[in-house]
Amino acid sequence: MTKMFNLAGIVDSHKIQYNISPENIISNADQIKVFEGNRELSILSITGIGTKTDSAIIEVEEPLDISKSYRVIIEGYGEKTIVPTDIFDSEYFIQNYTYDGNDLGAVIDGENTTFKVWAPTASKVVLNLFTSGHEGDAYKSVDMVKGDKGVWSYTEACGHGTYYTYTVTTSVGTQEAVDPYAKSVGLNGERGMVVDLSKTNPDGWADHSFTNCIKNYSDAIIWEVHVRDFSNKIAGSKYKGKYLAFTERGLVNEHGMAIGIDYLVDLGITHVHLLPVYDYATVDEANPDSEFNWGYDPKNYDSPEGSYSTDPYNGEVRIREYKEMVMALHNAGIAVIMDMVYNHTYSANSSFNRIVPYYYYRFTESGENCSESGCGNDTASERYMYGKFMVDSTGYWVKEYKLDGLRFDLMGMHDLATMQRVESAVHSVNPKAIIYGEGWDMGKTIDGSAQANQAQISKILPTGDAIGGIAVFNDVIRDGLKGSVFIDDSQGYISGDGAESFPAVLFGIKGGSGENESWKVDNAMVVNYMSAHDNNTLWDKLAMSNAEDSVETRFAMNRLGATILMISKGMVFFQAGEEMLRSKPLGNGEFDENSYKSSDEINNIRWDALKAGSMEQEMSKFYKGLIKMRQTYSIFTDNNTEISGATITELDGRAYVNIENRIGGKALVIINPTAETMTYDLDCSWNMICNGTEAGAEVIEVVNGKIEIPYYSAVVLVNNQALTS
């Protein structure tokens, strides 16, 4: 086996840890030496001498300077440059290098701009200034000055539209980086841009504010969409695949049906949730049509993505057009949520890592990047300056872009304390912003009790006037309704699984409380859903799990699932187009379950399917009716209701759900998840607002005694007090 010298790291002011493989015995302390240049450092002690080990601590006499380059030599293993690693978690480092200023980045003051970057382990930082975001050499490169807490700064007579990078020298080497705090970037995010934000505002922006469309999280009905998917197939759009497509009104498809924003207004959703719109790496902004990506490959967190702007070369344009998009959605009465992916970056050697190597990421003992995220470079929210970056970044986006909510990718990767600071930063700007994330249990890279996961998210409390804390996606009701997303033919409650899945469904109906062994939340802080961008679309899942059933039967199953979601406590969420049978067919009866870099053709929303009488249009109409129903009868969005439910027979899953509010309002939902028509005896009269095939604000009929519930459907009944709460 080859002897490997994996890593030598500074772990405290006088301590160096080395890692070798395979484990071996260092028999004599003289076999290990530490140098700065050619000068040998005096070693006080070395652990593990004479015992078999792959890792040990060397204590040196003099304090180590984290900006200097040291090397350690181990006889038989060669030498290694010593890099700062666990020292970042030492009291010494935290005391001396934690920076809490709000002036990192490029701040314009009159004719000058002051650049500040936190780089405590750097021995030299050079500021490079450019007239262009993508071409030509720097017109000036100048040494920055190291100040307090490891912050380097320089003030230069330049302003809006100047592009810049930092060249940072650390023990790892000399590397060029983009300022993580850059508010915009040039083409493909290779250079930051100095931005005067007042120059990026569209007309009317100053008088514009957040939406005011919800009173609590449960009012949110969220439509999750990718910028390109939304408009690529809109023939009449001038801005296919761009931010500005969200500003276009009056668009119709070839059948004369309203599409785009007008369609969303009619559908009645409250929030559009945009898949990543910060600057991501994969799509070439000079040639965006050559490839597609969802954007879970972050490059510059504080800049909008360039491929969605009409001019990716000019960093001002992407900001203005993003703002125009937000304003147009707001003017249509629709709130805007942005997807935040702080848990990993596109590249392990990102700008963060070039500026402060080993600080922003989680590493194994042997110096490998941790990959709980599956993306190869887990970030370290628990490190103060990364947590601070997340707090600064989220607060900035919500404030500057007037956003109405944020969604956190793999939130279980982040620590609770940081997410509480994020909650506070966001809600201090917009108390009605909704915050939610993927609270999956993300293994062991941080202490389980510190993870912002489903089981612990209720520890995060709303601050100030916030209408809620942080909510989590509810995969229990997701899989309970349609079957496991990981097993193609797995069925759920709506698709033939009978009584077995009802407890999982009831857990969701109750807003993520009640019977579930692994987690539950307070105050209905859940996002209930059947489909998102990940995994198969709902319609494709039903085709796979219920291949033997007719299209009409699957259609009924879809309606049943939607009905259950719309009477559930908590937020309602669906992938764009779920309501019109969105499909991602690959041919031969196969479907794309992970279309993150598939063709536009696979990913586009097919607006042409909306045609009077088409199944797509019928389903869309049904969703619209359900939304209207949910928004009219506040009993469904009231967090203070009592909900109980049970299966009527043990075997086939037929069930009822009772909802009662505090002022005598009642709802009764009778669910028939079987292939046969079901009858049910009512003992008093009720207003039927959903009969399984249509729903809405209006009472369809007043019913009493024996009623029929069609196959794979639910009827929703309310009393007269259910209208108010």
Which listed range, 139-147, 238-246, 305-313, 621-629, lies at the site for Ca ion (CB under 5 A)? 305-313
Which listed range, 9-17, 277-285, 315-323, 420-428, lies at the site for Ca ion (CB under 5 A)? 277-285
Q: CA nearest 240: which of 310, 297, 291, 301?
A: 310
Which listed range, 272-280, 317-325, 528-536, 569-577, lies at the site for Ca ion (CB under 5 A)? 272-280
Residues 6+ away with beta carbon under 8 Å from 249? 260, 261, 262, 332
- Residue 400 within binding range of Ca ion, rule CB under 5 A: no
Dihedral, CA of residue 343, residue 54, residue 356 and residue 351, to nearest 10:
-50
Rounded Cα–Cα distance for residues 534 and 595 (Å): 8
Residue of 12, 378, 423, 438 marked catalytic: 438
Which listed range, 166-174, 204-212, 271-279, 453-461, lies at the site for Ca ion (CB under 5 A)? 271-279
The DSSP bridge pattern shows strands 173-177 and 163-170 to be antiparallel
The minimum distance between CB 133 and Ca ion, in angstroms, equals 12
Q: What is the DSSP letter of 626?
A: H
Q: Is position 409 annotated as part of the catalytic site?
A: yes
Which listed range, 22-30, 51-59, 229-237, 301-309, lies at the site for Ca ion (CB under 5 A)? 301-309
The minimum distance between CB 188 and Ca ion, in angstroms, equals 6
**DSSP SS3 for 443:** coil
Comparison of 305 and 409: residue with beta carbon closer to Ca ion:
305
Q: CA nearest 49: which of 73, 76, 30?
A: 30
Residues 6+ away with beta carbon under 8 Å from 303? 182, 183, 184, 185, 189, 192, 193, 278, 279, 315, 318, 319
Rounded Cα–Cα distance for residues 215 and 220 (Å): 9
Residues 6+ away with beta carbon under 8 Å from 206? none
Please name the helix (run of DSSP H) or strand (run of DSSP E) that holds residue 71, with its range, or none: strand 70-74
Rounded Cα–Cα distance for residues 86 and 380 (Å): 12
- Residue 404 within binding range of Ca ion, rule CB under 5 A: no
- Residue 279 within binding range of Ca ion, rule CB under 5 A: yes
Comparison of 171 and 309: residue with beta carbon closer to Ca ion:
309
The minimum distance between CB 489 and Ca ion, in angstroms, equals 38
Strand-pairing partners, residue 258, are 252
317-320: Cβ within 8 A, 24+ apart:
318/184, 318/243, 319/183, 319/184, 319/195, 319/197, 319/200, 320/200, 320/201, 320/202
The DSSP bridge pattern shows strands 278-280 and 526-529 to be unpaired
Chain centroid to CA 281: 16
Comparison of 277 and 709: residue with beta carbon closer to Ca ion:
277
Residue nearest to Ca ion (CB): 279
Rounded Cα–Cα distance for residues 198 and 201 (Å): 6
Q: CA nearest 525: which of 470, 479, 477?
A: 470
Comparison of 105 and 306: residue with beta carbon closer to Ca ion:
306
The minimum distance between CB 189 and Ca ion, in angstroms, equals 5
Residues 655-674 that bind Ca ion (CB under 5 A): none
Count of residues in contact with Ca ion, rule CB under 5 A: 3
Helices (H) and strands (E) in the chain, counts: 13, 36
Rounded Cα–Cα distance for residues 24 and 7 (Å): 15
Q: Is position 708 annotated as part of the catalytic site?
A: no
Q: CA nearest 261: which of 607, 626, 697?
A: 607
Comparison of 93 and 401: residue with beta carbon closer to Ca ion:
401
Which listed range, 228-236, 306-314, 429-437, 517-525, lies at the site for Ca ion (CB under 5 A)? 306-314
Residue 568 Cα distances to 202, 270, 512, angstroms: 39, 16, 10
Which listed range, 205-213, 297-305, 370-378, 563-571, lies at the site for Ca ion (CB under 5 A)? 297-305
Which listed range, 264-272, 304-312, 373-381, 489-497, lies at the site for Ca ion (CB under 5 A)? 304-312
Backbone φ, ψ for residue 296 (5° rounding): -85, 45
Q: CA nearest 422: which of 377, 457, 465, 390?
A: 390
Residues 315-374 that bind Ca ion (CB under 5 A): none
First CA to last CA across the chain, in angstroms? 72
Comparison of 18 and 292: residue with beta carbon closer to Ca ion:
292
Comparison of 279 and 409: residue with beta carbon closer to Ca ion:
279
List the alpha helices (DSSP H) in 172-314: 227-231, 261-267
Which listed range, 127-135, 300-308, 464-472, 586-594, lies at the site for Ca ion (CB under 5 A)? 300-308
Rg (CA), the chain: 28
The minimum distance between CB 297 and Ca ion, in angstroms, equals 9
The minimum distance between CB 416 and Ca ion, in angstroms, equals 31
Chain centroid to CA 140: 38
The minimum distance between CB 452 and Ca ion, in angstroms, equals 27
Residue of 229, 285, 409, 549 marked catalytic: 409
Comparison of 299 and 482: residue with beta carbon closer to Ca ion:
299
The minimum distance between CB 295 and Ca ion, in angstroms, equals 8
Comparison of 306 and 387: residue with beta carbon closer to Ca ion:
306
Site string for Ca ion, 100-119 (x = CB under 5 A): --------------------
The minimum distance between CB 132 and Ca ion, in angstroms, equals 17
The minimum distance between CB 306 and Ca ion, in angstroms, equals 5
Q: CA nearest 482: which of 524, 440, 532, 437?
A: 532
The minimum distance between CB 2 and Ca ion, in angstroms, equals 39
The minimum distance between CB 187 and Ca ion, in angstroms, equals 8
Comparison of 10 and 325: residue with beta carbon closer to Ca ion:
325
Residue 331 burial by Cβ neighbours in a 10 Å radius (0-12, 13-18, 19+): middle
Tokens, residue 33: 């030496």
Q: Which amino acid is at 472?
A: V
The minimum distance between CB 303 and Ca ion, in angstroms, equals 8
**DSSP SS3 for 689:** strand
Comparison of 285 and 578: residue with beta carbon closer to Ca ion:
285
Backbone φ, ψ for residue 411 (5° rounding): -60, -25
Comparison of 495 and 603: residue with beta carbon closer to Ca ion:
603
Comparison of 200 and 528: residue with beta carbon closer to Ca ion:
200
Report the catalytic residues: 409, 438
Residues in contact with Ca ion by CB under 5 A are 279, 305-306
